[in-house]
Structure 1
Amino acid sequence: MKSNFHHVALIGKYQTIASGASGSSSRSALEAILQFLEDLGCEVVIEHDTAHNMGLTDYPVLNVAQIGARCDLGLVVGGDGTMLGIGRQLASYGVPLIGVNQGRLGFITDIPYDSFSDNLARMLRGEYEEDHRSLINARVIRDGHCVYRAMAMNDVVVNRGATSGMVELRVEVDGHFVANQRADGLIIATPTGSTAYALSSGGPLLHPSIPGWVMVPIAPHTLSNRPIVLANTSRIAIEIVAGRDASASFDMQSLASLMHGDRIEVERSEHHVRFLHPKGWSYFDTLREKLHWNEGVTPT
């Protein structure tokens, strides 16, 4: 069987220490998948940081920009954090991504490593479901100037300091004043991110096909301050009114320190991430498995 994808990039969970047990396990997984892809006739390259940190020096290596320009598929081996990081970087190139889960939860890396060969064999010959995920563009404005930019696939989170009390935030949507909120923080989440921090803070689940965001307060002072679903065409501005040591995080992978008067401006990115899932994949199957629905219940 030959693959419909010819030039495949392999991206791994290179944050693990290559000399340790977890690093050794991750390297072995990458090498097993690489050999499998080569046996199918794929031309395989390793993402630069993955190769460097895992010691995979005997294979062709490309950086992210080169992968975007030359590869027709990215295969991500790790957990959701690994996928979030590479998904943001490759979104502007339109390269589809498949996730093989070596993490714990796996909402967006949905192929178990133990069964990667059967799943990948079918997907690489064209038996897959394609799923597009929206992205957020965010920037921090200070004294009229942009001091920080970031992109997020999951969420933008404004948080109070670790040792301080609540923050007070002025929230606007499309230039209209919404409220001054006193809380531990505020989350703006995509449908993808609705199963992450937003969910643990009491937010709703959003199906990935919904063109919306969810705005979720974190431990609000006023209990009537509830999550709200907004159109993802909205522009949201969050201003720091009061509170010490506030910060903004973007997918929990980048961080900006904030001062009083700073504005975090959020809008929809023009790019999206392309995920490929096994044929027959269902978002509801993922929710049922990962959130342990139906436990103790006999399906009918």
Structure 2
Amino acid sequence: MSLKFPRVALVGKYIDLPTDGMAESTRALMLDIGALIQEQGCEVILAERTAHALQLTQFSTLDVSGIGTECDLAVVVGGDGTMLGIGRHLARYGTPLIGINQGRLGFITDIPLDGYRDALPAMLQGDYEEDHRSLMHGKVVRDGACVFEAFAMNDVVVNRGAAASMVELRVEVNGHFVANHRADGIIVATPTGSTAYALSAGGPLLHPLVPAWALVPIAPHTLSNRPIVVADPVEIAIEIVGGRDASASFDMQSLASLHHGDRILVRRSDFRARFLHPRGWSYFDTLRAKLHWNEGGV
């Protein structure tokens, strides 16, 4: 029988770990997962930066673009930040992703660390649930020219500087004026990002199948400036009207210093991330477990 995923990339945290017990345990974990994947008849390719960080030489290596063009699947070991980082790059290639949670919350790396031996074999043989997550394409326009752009899977955030007072932001949707917000900033969140920064700022939870974004003001001066949900085919424009040291971030990874008059434009990307989950996976089960719903009561 032909393999569902002949070549499987194994991706771990991209940080350099100290040579101590943590590094050794992480190295042993990656070797064990790699061996398990090989037992299913798949070839294992290790991400170059992971191999360098953990000093692993047991597998062939590829950079991220090589993984996208040459691998059939990526198994990501880490937290949601690790998944976001690799997911943004691999979405353009349509490479499916499996997440093993080595972090804390794990909304999108949903296989628990003590459960990968049970979950992976069946998934590698094609027994899984699949869901797709939209990405955003954001850019900063200054004097009519694009000076910065990036993709985001979670959110695009415009906020004030650390030592500055609130900023004033003009928000438009498809060219229609919505409001001027005086606040610490504003978040444009995808359904994936609705469980991240937007949630802590009082935004709604969006199911991954909902084609929508949440616009969530951060500590608004006027309490009637509430979060709003808009359909994701629109273009959102956020203009810096007032305030100092404002910046824009894309999944908290890419930063851009902003000037008065700068416009941050956000639209739906042409790319979507493909997440694979164990058979029987439910988004609501994930919410219930991670947000501790129903604890202490019936």
Instruction: Report the TM-score, using the length of structure 1 for normalisation.
Output: 0.97
Amino acid at match of 1:246: A
Alignment match, 1:183? 183
Aligned: 1:39 with 2:28: no
Moved segments of 4+, more than 4 Å? none
1:148 aligns with 2:148: yes
Shift of 1:57: 2.3
Task: Confirm or deny: 8 A CA contact 1:16 1:22 kept in the other structure.
Answer: no
Using the size of structure 2 for normalisation, the TM-score is: 0.98
* Cross-structure match for 1:229: 229
Aligned counterpart, 1:290:
290
In the other structure, the counterpart of 1:124 is 124
The answer on 1:85 being equivalent to 2:85 is: yes
Cα drift, residue 18 of structure 1: 4.4
Structure 2 CA distance for partners of 1:240 and 1:20, relative to 1, 3 Å:
farther
> Is there any run of 5+ residues in structure 1 with no aligned partner, and where?
none
Q: Give the conservation status (yes or no) of the 8 Å contact 1:97–1:276.
A: yes
Measure how far apart 1:66 and its partner are.
1.1
Equivalent position of 2:76 in the other structure? 76
Is 1:203 matched with 2:203? Answer: yes
Which digits, 9 at most, give the CA deviation of each residue in 1:102-123, with x for residues without a partner?
0000000000111101100111
Deviation for aligned residue 1:27: 1.6
The Cα shift of 1:58 comes to 3.2
Cα distance in 2 for residues equivalent to 1:287 and 1:87 = 21
Code of the aligned partner of 1:293:
W
For the 8 Å contact 1:151–1:250, the answer to whether it is kept is: yes
Give the equivalent residue in structure 1 for 2:238. 238
- How much has 1:40 moved relative to structure 2? 1.5
Whole-angstrom distance in 2 between the partners of 1:21 and 1:247:
38
User: CA separation in 1, counterparts of 2:169 and 2:177?
Assistant: 11
CA-CA distance at 1:2 after TM superposition: 8.5
SS at match of 1:114: coil
Q: Which whole-Å CA distance do the structure 2 matches of 1:28 and 1:253 have between them? A: 28
Q: Structure 2 CA distance, aligned partners of 1:85 and 1:239?
A: 27
Q: Cα RMSD over matched residues?
A: 1.2
Equivalent position of 1:260 in the other structure: 260
TM-superposition CA deviations, 1:149-172 (whole Å, max 9, x none) = 110000000010101110000111
Match of 2:165 in 1: 165
How many Å separate the matches in 1 of 2:51 and 2:94?
23
Partner of 1:5: 5
How big is each residue's C-alpha offset from its partner over 1:74-130, in whole Å with a ceiling of 9 and x where there is no partner? 000000000000000000000100000000000000001111011001111111000
**Structure 1 CA distance for aligned equivalents of residues 148 and 136 of structure 2:** 14
| Aligned AA (2:147) | V
Tell me how far apart the structure 2 counterparts of residues 41 and 2 of structure 1 sit (CA, whole Å): 10
Post-superposition Cα deviations, 1:255-280, rounded to whole Å, max 9, x if no partner, equal 11111111100000011000000000
What is the deviation of 1:3?
Answer: 5.2
| Other structure's SS at 1:89 match | helix
- Say which is worse superposed, 2-11 or 97-106, in terms of deviation: 2-11
Q: Which amino acid aligns with 1:126?
A: G
Q: Letter of the aligned partner of 1:199 in structure 2?
A: L
The 3 A distance-change label for structure 1 pair 227 and 295 is: same
Which moves more between the two structures, 144-153 or 55-64? Answer: 55-64
| 1:212 counterpart residue number | 212
What is the alpha-carbon distance in structure 1 between the residues aligned to residue 20 and residue 229 of structure 2?
44
Size of the aligned set, in residue pairs, is 298
Query: Hey, what does 2:277 align to over in structure 1?
Result: 277
**Percent identity of paired positions between Structure 1 and Structure 2:** 66
| Separation of aligned partners in 2, 1:23 and 1:225 | 46
